[in-house]
Amino acid sequence: MRAPFPRLSRATFVVAIAALIAGGCQTEPAPGESDGPAAAMDAAGASGAAAAGGEAATASSPALAGSEPAAGASEDPGVDRAGRRPNVILISIDDLRRDRLGFYGAERATSPLLDQLASESVVFDNAYSTSSWTLPSHASMFSGLHPKSHGATLQFTKPRADVRMLTEILRDAGYQTAAVTAGGWLSEGFGFEKGFDAFESHLAPGRGVRASLAQAKAFDPERPYFLFFHTFGVHCPFNVPPKYEKMVGPHAEAARFDVKGMCGDTHFMKMDLSDGQIAYLSDLYDAGIRRMDDFLASLIGFLKARGDLDRSILVVTSDHGEEFREHGRMGHGRALYAESLRIPLLVRAPGLEPRRVSVPTSIVDLTPTLLDLLGIEAEGMEGTSLVPRLREGDAADAPRPVFAETTLRGEKARSVVFDGRQLIVDLKNDRIETYDLVDDPEQRAPLAEGTRASAPASPLDDLLAAHFADHAEEPEAVVEVTEERLEQLRALGYVE
């Protein structure tokens, strides 16, 4: 059963956005980062901010949002009244666990902005990533291919040269394209820059939001655009201003320790952390989500005030979750349990009625879905369009198996979710586990377990074997990175 959670009323939301735009809702800058949401607004330029402020209170009404006709009035998400395709705005909040968000049942007020967006969107309650770390997951998001097929499965690899990315397809269809990523595995050189007219990387979330606002403002208003914003705003190291710790409290104060510079399993797995300290890290994680929600409020508020939001397909999602020792580990990337694989996924688009979809769904379906919404053909993809589910919900089509895999730092595992169960095969340790996701969603005790030789046979075995039958063993592409990027990957806990 889902826990109750707070929602902002529409009126409260509009007032909050107006206050943000007017600079009346200052947030404390993060350590090492002097910019907050209000500063992000400034980057869009004084005239843009002023115009946004003037329109904020009425932005939810297309007729009052601006002089241009709003595409929101169209029945068809593929085109607006002028026959123009909508913009595509893809927001990937790296490392964001589904269960820590209000609209997925979290009791803490971590996500007022995202909760409001979710109430206007199709929300996928059981969305899964294709992997538990950044590079293979994002490559699936952009290619419609599973990691075994796009090839970016190991550190310092990238998708095969012949893999067509969403951005390239949109650019060929006439879209202006701009990306602002947080770097790391999404730095230039890992293949994500393909098709982008502009590609920036900014580690600090505030700078990323500011750059995204500037990119949005620079687009030619006569042509549709694709804006991709990726952030490490909730990723460790969990340096969050105390204000946000208090906002999501109560807090594990007694276990407070200095987490500066500590990240992932390169640090936390090697420390003898007490239960209280793990709870403290988990609290900081929630606080980081609350801060990121504030940053996003400035970006979404700006797009809404300009009338862009109602002319856009907006997707908010993540690439994987984060572990807090639920199954013995900290960080992410080496296991495929729910806390690592389950992600938020919401789609807000002109003509789409808000609804919840509970059938398991994969991030590999995202690119085929966007292209289907836009009436652009998707060729050679393994993902399947979610447009029937967007329009009709669970009854739209038959459930499909959802696959995932990871290879990171010596670990190698595969997973399939189907028919209320998850099969996880740990290839390194020769361990197989099957979980009942209905009765045991947190995966506390496997229904069946054993080695590959001893575990009882399951119908999921055949699904997994068929999926990986054409698996290429090792990817060929090797990416060279600068020492600066390497240092960033170390700081994010990926490289020792």
**Calpha distance 213→299 (Å, rounded):** 6
Task: Give whichever of 131 and 149 is closer to Zn ion, judged by the CB atom.
Answer: 131
For Zn ion, the closer CB: 175 or 185: 185
Any idea what the Cα angle at residue 332 is, between residues 361 and 202, rounded to 5°? Answer: 90
Residue closer to Zn ion (CB basis): 189 or 276: 189
Write down the least CB distance from residue 265 to Zn ion, Å: 13
- Minimum gap (Å) between residue 327 Cβ and Zn ion: 18
Of 212 and 318, nearer to Zn ion (C-beta) is: 318
- Give the nearer residue to Zn ion in terms of CB position, either 94 or 433: 94
Min. distance of Cβ 489 from Zn ion in angstroms? 11
Cα angle 411-415-421, degrees, rounded to a multiple of 5: 140
**134 or 201: whose CB is closer to Zn ion?**
134
Q: CB of residue 488 vs Zn ion: minimum separation in angstroms?
A: 13
* Cβ at position 32, least distance to Zn ion in Å: 20
- Residue 367 beta carbon to Zn ion: minimum distance, rounded to whole angstroms: 18
Q: Give the nearest distance from C-beta 235 to Zn ion in angstroms.
A: 7
Q: Given the complex with Zn ion, which of 236 and 314 has the nearer CB atom?
A: 236
SS3 string, the chain, reads CCCCCCCCCHHHHHHHHHHHHCCCCCCCCCCCCCCCHHHHHHHCCHHHHHHHHHHHHHCCCHHHHCCCCCHHHCCCCCCCCCCCCCEEEEEEECCCCHHHCHHHCCCCCCCHHHHHHHHCCEEECCEECCCCCHHHHHHHHHHCCCHHHHCCCCCCCCCCCCCCCHHHHHHHCCCEEEEEECCHHHCCCCCCCCCCCEEEECCCHHHHHHHHHHHHHHCCCCCCEEEEEEECCCCCCCCCCHHHHHHHCCCCHHHCCCCCCCCHHHHHHHCCCCHHHHHHHHHHHHHHHHHHHHHHHHHHHHHHHCCCHHHEEEEEECCCCCEECCCCCEECCCCCCHHHHEECEEEECCCCCCEEECCCEEHHHHHHHHHHHHCCCCCCCCCCCCHHHHHHHHHHCCCCCEEEEEEECCEEEEEEEECCEEEEEECCCCEEEEEECCCCCCCCCCCEEECCCCCCCCHHHHHHHHHCCCCCCCCCCCCCCCHHHHHHHHHCCCCC
Rounded least distance, CB 133 to Zn ion, Å: 6
Q: Whose Cβ is closer to Zn ion: residue 134's or residue 488's?
A: 134
Q: Residue 319 or residue 426: which is nearer to Zn ion going by CB?
A: 319
Provide the minimum distance between the beta carbon of 158 and Zn ion in the complex, in angstroms, as a whole number.
Answer: 15
Contact criterion met (CB below 8 Å) for 323 and 331: yes
The nearest distance, CB 95 to Zn ion, in angstroms, is 5
Residue whose C-beta lies closest to Zn ion: 134
Shortest CB 399 distance to Zn ion, Å:
27
Nearer to Zn ion by Cβ, of 94 and 120: the residue is 94
Nearer to Zn ion, 14 or 495 (CB): 495
CA separation, residue 235 to residues 253, 425, 491 (Å): 21, 26, 11
Residue 186 Cβ, how far from Zn ion at the closest point, in Å?
A: 9
Q: Which is nearer to Zn ion, 137 or 422 (CB)?
A: 137
Taking only Cα atoms into account, the Rg of the chain, rounded to an integer number of angstroms, comes to 21
131 vs 215, beta carbon nearer Zn ion: 131
How far is the C-alpha of 439 from the C-alpha of 287, rounded, in Å?
30
362 touches 130 (CB < 8 A): yes
Whole-angstrom distance, CA of residue 278 vs CA of residue 339: 15
Kindly state the smallest distance separating residue 184's Cβ from Zn ion, in Å: 8
Site of interaction with Zn ion (CB under 5 A):
94, 134, 319
**Structure tokens that stand for 139 in this block:** 């490559």
Measured CA to CA, the distance from residue 238 to residue 195 in angstroms comes to 32
